[in-house]
Structure 1
Amino acid sequence: MLQRSPTGTWLPAWVPESTGLLSTLLMLCSVVQSATGGYDGSMLNGLNILPSYTDYFRLDPATTGLNTSAVFLGGILGPLVTGHLADRHGRRPTIFGGSALTLVGVLLQTAAQNVAMFVVARILLGFGSAVSGIAAGVYLSETLPCRWRAWGVGLLNDFYYVGALIAAGVTLATGQWPSTWAWRAPSLLQGVFSALCLVLLPLIPESPRWLAYRGHWAAARAVVARTERGDAAVVATVYREIVDTLAWEKKHGATMRLAEIWRTPTARRRLLIGMSPGPFSCIAGNIIASYYLASELDTAGVTDTVAQLKAVCNFFYFFGFVVGGGGEKEGVQDGLTHSLHI
């Protein structure tokens, strides 16, 4: 059974009554960016192996790097505007816009006739994916039931390996096709995650914190009651925490402007900590292995196209995600249970 949920935006919502189903939909809608990113890395790794792709664009080392890195150009631009868009227009409409733009980029990438068109498409794809991913992370941390919140937000980037494994399998399956669809088909399927997000968005509520921030107090409490169904004490506590936090921010002059991220020493330290995982992970060399495995395998003496495509299939990482995720889930839930009893 679906019930209408107030959103305070142009994007309506009909939300399921089941808290478990609602939490699942929230997770599925929010993992778009990490799954798309994982798919992109594994897909480009595979495409750089395929003669049908490299010969079609007549790639040299410079254009290969440009085609590959263009998605990061869009990814750099996305965070500059996402905060403003999500705060002004709502979390769900921002996710919707980012996912729709990602789909446009995917379609242009699939239809690319030259390097310039491919690069522009990947910039759009990277921008849209960054917008939807950032807004989705904030949205999930504000909306997922508190007993599952730490676990759910912790799983967001783990879906990178889900997308990567799917892309590796698709590229391996299409790699021997005797046409440009050997690389166009994997490119087109990259839009599946964003399309799924667009389908699910009308089935999940708006962030209760954003609703309260915009003055929709009754709607915010209704969303909290919907996500925390069955425990009146938790509903009251979560809602009061939102109200008190907003009141404190207003009293101390804290706003949602970009300047807040470096206004105080504490904010600057948090910013540096938040920025550090990106460059540290890249220094480890995983980006090179994710996009240029073909060149590494050539150096190692593995030159067969099919053998290289099989090497892209990262079952080891997916297995680590499944096993590690299970242990993390139990530990986080135990911690949340303990904290709630306190």
Structure 2
Amino acid sequence: MLQRTATGTWMPAWVPESTLTLSILLLICSMVQSATNGYDGSMLNGVNMLPAYTDYFTLNSVTKGLNTASVSIGGFFGPLVSGVIADRIGRRPAVFWGSIVTLVGVLLQTAAQNIAMFVVARVVLGLGSAVSGIAGGVYLSETFSSRWRAWGAGLLNDFYYRRGHLRNGPVAVNLGLARALLDPGDLLAPLYLHFALHCSPESPRWLVNQGYLEEARTVVAQTNSNGNLSDPVTLAVYKEIVDTITWEKTERRSMKTMEILKNPVTRKRLLVGMSAGPFSCIAGNVIASYYLAQSSTRPELLGRMTNLKL
């Protein structure tokens, strides 16, 4: 049974009455974004070894690296604006518009006629994925049921690797993508999010910050106690959110960019958070994700692939 819920934004929501059903939906909705990034890396790994792709763009080592790394250019600029976007328009709309940008990037990549168009498409794809991915992570941590929040947030990044495993399975899929760079994984993920977001409530923390107190209380009840507004857990979680945001506003702890850089504690936290990305990459997983198949493919196998009719 679905219940119409106010969201404080232009996006309506019809939320399941069951907390368990809603938690599963929220988890899937947020994890899809993390999984999409793993899917893209595995897709390029397979396509990079196919002559139908390398010969079409007349790629050398430099241009092949540029094609592959261009998604990280958008992925670099996306986090710089995703927080501001999510705070101003809401978590769900931020995920929605990020998915729209991702779809545009996928379609441009499909229609790419030359290296420049392909690189631009990959930059747009990386930008959209970063915006929706970061907003999705924040949305999950703020909205997921307090009983399972740590477990759910842990699974969020874990699905980066699960999607890569699924993508590496069928070799025939890589061959089919040799002439059509429209990857169904990159396409279906944003489409699924557009459906799932309409069955999910807005973040209660964002609602309280915008002054929608009753709407936030309803969301807390939906995500913790099957919609029971008088449940002790609902009252405790709601009071904690209200008290925290009230304190932040009273003490002017809005964490704007300059405040983060001025405060030594926040600078330390920023450096700790930033360290995860570089340290995860220097392990060699990025190189393996994108170029392992090319370096390990036998010449006679490439010859057979050249003669395939796709």
Give the TM-score normalised by structure 1: 0.84
Q: Do 1:14 and 1:202's aligned partners in 2 also have CA atoms closer than 8 Å?
A: yes
Q: Aligned partners of 2:126 and 2:132: how far apart in 1?
A: 10
Q: Which moved more, 1:1-10 or 1:29-38?
A: 29-38
Identity of aligned residues (%): 58
The answer for the alignment partner of 1:148 in structure 2 is 148
1:328 corresponding residue in structure 2: none
Between stretches 289-298 and 194-203, larger displacement belongs to 289-298
Mind listing any 5+ residue stretches in structure 2 that lack a counterpart? 306-310
Amino acid at match of 1:218: E
* Matched AA of 1:271: L
Whole-Å separation in 2 of the counterparts to 1:264 and 1:257 = 11
* 1:134-190 C-alpha deviation (Å, 9 max, x unpaired): 0011110000000110010111111112221232235x113445xxx5352562432
Q: Structure 2: how far apart are the matches of 1:46 and 1:291?
A: 8
Q: Distance in 2 between matches of 1:32 and 1:259?
A: 33
In the alignment, the residues of structure 2 paired with residue 147 and residue 99 of structure 1 have an alpha-carbon distance, to the nearest angstrom, of: 29
Distance 1:174 1:135 in 2: 30
Work out whether residues 109 and 181 of structure 2, in 8 Å CA contact, stay in contact via their aligned partners in 1. Answer: no
* Superposition map of 1:48-63 within 5 A: 48-63=48-63
The CA RMSD measured in Å over matched residues stands at: 2.0
Matches within 5 A, 1:35-114: 35-114=35-114
Cα contact 2:109–2:121 (8 A) shared by 1: yes
Unpaired segments of 5 or more residues in structure 1? 309-342
Q: Which residue of 2 aligns with 1:194?
A: 190
* Structure 2: distance between partners of 1:161 and 1:197: 19
Structure 1 residue 50 displacement after superposition: 1.0
**Given residue 216 of structure 1, which amino acid in structure 2 is its aligned partner?**
Y
- Map of 1:224 onto structure 2: 220
The alpha-carbon distance between structure 1 residues 263 and 25, as it changes in their structure 2 partners (threshold 3 A), is farther
User: For the Cα contact (< 8 Å) 2:19–2:222, is it kept in 1?
Assistant: yes
SS class of match (1:11):
coil
Q: Is the 8 A contact 2:107 2:182 kept in 1?
A: no
- Alignment partners' CA distance in 2, 1:6 and 1:289: 46
TM-score (norm 2): 0.92
Number of positions where the alignment pairs a residue of Structure 1 with one of Structure 2: 302
Could you tell me which residue of structure 2 aligns to residue 304 of structure 1?
301
Q: Which residue of 2 aligns with 1:317?
A: none
Hey, what's the Cα distance between the residues in 2 that align with 1:75 and 1:28? 22
1:265 Cα deviation from its structure 2 partner: 1.4
Seen in structure 2, the aligned counterparts of structure 1 residues 121 and 113 have a Cα distance that, compared at 3 Å, is same
In 2, Cα distance between the equivalents of 1:277 and 1:253?
Answer: 29
In 2, Cα distance between equivalents of 1:71 and 1:10: 30
How many Å separate the matches in 2 of 1:173 and 1:215?
53
Equivalent AA in structure 2 for residue 141 of structure 1: S
User: Helix, strand or coil for the counterpart of 1:199?
Assistant: helix
1-structure distance, mates of 2:221, 2:175: 53
Q: Secondary structure of 1:285's partner?
A: helix
Instruction: Give the Cα–Cα distance (whole angstroms) in 1 for the partners of residues 303 and 7 of structure 2.
Output: 50
Aligned partners of 2:93, 2:52: CA distance in 1, in Å? 38
Q: Secondary structure at the match of 2:248?
A: helix
Q: Which residue of 2 aligns with 1:272?
A: 271
Q: Is the 8 A contact 1:107 1:188 kept in 2?
A: no
Output aligned runs, 1:137-216, within 5 Å: 137-170=137-170, 172-177=171-176, 181-184=177-180, 187-216=183-212
- Is 1:238 matched up with 2:237? yes
1:155 counterpart SS class: helix
